[in-house]
């Protein structure tokens, strides 16, 4: 081999290594960019949860994650973005939380009223007991178990039951509603037990009575 040509080949090795190093650096930089993009995208997705995103082209205002972004074009041609808090969304969230808090308080007071009535049955039957408890809190429910229907309240599944919900049973095995009680939490219902002659709490699935319906009136 020509010694001069050999020197050229040997001399080009550092350049080749440098090129490979540059390519490696570019690949690493690209990977870092992709990772940063993914993380940034996920953070935006988390921030935007529960909010609607829209853009008003006429006013050039973008709503993102509960903030209004307004773009203003200066006389110099420079565009400046300003974040404005979306008071409508904040008021809506605050109102919803306040309503949920009031509903939870009402459920707890209904439960407490039912528990306070525990004792001798007196003149109460199951439906009169439930009607009396609910009336204490301005809620109207039927006097008879046969009159209960979806118009009374919102039907809910057993997995979604909450304290204060009304539970309807088939206690006679005839496929119709013949008994009613109030769910008080901890998998228990407060009702009139006519066999014992008392108002008391028992397991939600007492005596294996089939649950015919659960209504939410709060």
What's the CATH code of the domain at 195? Answer: 3.90.1720.10
Establish if 175 belongs to a structural domain.
yes
How far apart (Å, rounded) are the C-alpha atoms in residues 182 and 11?
91
Q: Give the model confidence (pLDDT) of 44-71 as tens digits.
A: 443 443 333 333 333 454 444 444 555 5
Do 44 and 131 sit in the same domain of this protein? no
- Whether the CA torsion 5, 10, 11, 13 is positive or negative: it is positive
Other Cβ atoms closer than 10 A to 112: 13
Establish if 60 belongs to a structural domain.
no
At 6, the pLDDT band (50, 70, 90 cuts) reads very low
Do 24 and 118 sit in the same domain of this protein? no
At 88, the pLDDT band (50, 70, 90 cuts) reads low
Establish if 74 belongs to a structural domain.
no
Range of the domain at 196: 108-216
Q: How many residues are recorded in the chain?
A: 218
Establish if 70 belongs to a structural domain.
no
Q: How many domains does the chain have?
A: 2
Confirm whether pTM is higher than 0.75: no
Establish if 205 belongs to a structural domain.
yes
Average pLDDT of span 9-29:
59
Do 127 and 27 sit in the same domain of this protein? no
Do 18 and 113 sit in the same domain of this protein? no
Establish if 174 belongs to a structural domain.
yes
């Amino acid at each position: 081999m020509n010694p001069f040509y050999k020197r050229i080949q040997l001399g080009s090795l550092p350049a080749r290594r440098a090129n490979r190093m540059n390519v490696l650096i570019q690949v690493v930089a690209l990977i870092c960019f992709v990772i940063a993009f993914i993380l940034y995208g996920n953070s935006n997705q988390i921030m935007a949860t529960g909010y609607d995103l829209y853009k008003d082209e006429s006013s050039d205002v973008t709503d993102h994650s509960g903030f209004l972004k307004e773009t203003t074009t200066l006389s110099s041609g420079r565009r400046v973005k300003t974040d404005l808090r979306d008071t409508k969304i904040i008021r809506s969230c605050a109102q919803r939380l306040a309503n949920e808090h009031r509903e939870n308080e009402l459920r707890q007071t209904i439960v407490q009223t039912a528990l306070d009535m525990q004792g001798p049955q007196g003149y109460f039957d199951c439906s009169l007991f439930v009607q009396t408890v609910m009336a204490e809190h301005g809620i109207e429910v039927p006097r008879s178990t046969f009159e209960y229907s979806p118009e009374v309240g919102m039907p809910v599944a057993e997995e979604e039951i909450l304290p204060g919900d009304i539970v309807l049973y088939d206690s006679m095995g005839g496929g119709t509603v013949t008994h009613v009680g109030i769910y008080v939490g901890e998998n228990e219902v407060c009702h009139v037990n006519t066999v014992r002659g008392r108002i008391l709490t028992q397991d939600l699935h007492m005596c294996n009575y089939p649950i015919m319906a659960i209504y939410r009136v709060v």
